[in-house]
Amino acid sequence: MLRKSFFEGKKVEELANALLGCELVHETEDGTTAGIIVETESYHQTDEASHSYNGKSKRTAVMFGPPGHAYIYFTYGMHYCFNIVAENEGVGAGVLIRALEPTSGIELMKKRRNQENIHNLCNGPAKLVQAMGISKADYGKPIFQGNLYVTEPKLKDIKIVFGPRIGISKAQQKPWRFWVENNPFVSGQRKA
């Protein structure tokens, strides 16, 4: 498991890069699921597309807290997305986890998602939340301790590429989306 210090002292873009190739693990009553992070996006309070841009709110309070905690938000009336809080306490920044390559608990993921195709289990921010069994009960939890955590990098020698973000209407041109090149589990198959 990564230590708390891993999340400290990094810019949100640096953390988004550093998390690629690491494994996200969730231990639950139903079993353990895990997957390697292959796609991320960074959001900062100075970025008008970020939830933290307009200041602290009830919804985004965790983003302004200390780094290494889970920020989970609900959107479009039916979907949750999972972020890792970045930068120092008082700064509203976080890394959105957009896609995972499943490694453990794949049968459990299939059951949760009601989906047999492994490529459709975690290739989207709301999909991986469902597959991993993450819920708003995990909001604000530290991910350097407990049963929801991130490991040391598992993939070596990966090529990281970056480009415009997806699914937002502001500041799309900012190259703050990062992913592992040629990985079939990356979600970004929409218009770039």
Q: Does 78 interact with DNA (rule: CB under 7 A)?
A: yes
Label residues 84-105 b or e (16+ Cβ within 10 Å = b): bbbbeeebbbbbbbbbbbbeeb
Q: How many CA atoms lie within 13 A of 74 on its CB side?
A: 9
The yes or no reply on residue 170 touching DNA (CB under 7 A) is: yes
Regarding 108 and contact with DNA (CB under 7 A), the answer is no
Is 94 a residue that touches DNA (CB under 7 A)?
yes
Residue 111 found at the interface with DNA (CB under 7 A): no
In angstroms, the CA 167 to CA 157 distance is 29
Amino acid at 1: M
Residue with tokens 């690491």: 22
Task: Using CB under 7 A, pick the residue from 76, 156, 157, 173 that binds DNA.
Answer: 76
177 touches DNA by CB under 7 A: no
Residues sharing a CB contact under 8 Å with residue 57, sequence separation 6 or more, in sequence order = 51
Least distance in angstroms from the C-beta of 53 to DNA:
9
Query: Nearest distance from residue 122's CB to DNA, in Å?
Result: 9
Binding flag, residue 117, DNA (CB under 7 A) = no
- Nearer to DNA by C-beta: 57 or 145? 57
Q: Does 50 bind DNA (CB under 7 A)?
A: yes
Which of 127-157 are b and which e, b meaning 16 or more Cβ less than 10 Å from the residue's Cβ? bbbbbbbbeeebbebbbbeeebbbeebeeee
Biggest CA pair distance of the chain:
42
Q: Are 43 and 98 in contact (CB under 8 A)?
A: no
Using rule CB under 7 A, residue 52 touches DNA: yes
Binding residue for DNA, selected from 26, 125, 138, 186, defined by CB under 7 A = 125
Segment interacting with DNA, rule: CB under 7 A, options 6-14, 26-34, 73-81, 144-152: 73-81
* Contact set with DNA (CB under 7 A): 41, 43, 49-52, 54-55, 57-60, 63, 71, 73-79, 81, 83, 94, 96, 113, 115, 120, 124-127, 165-170, 187
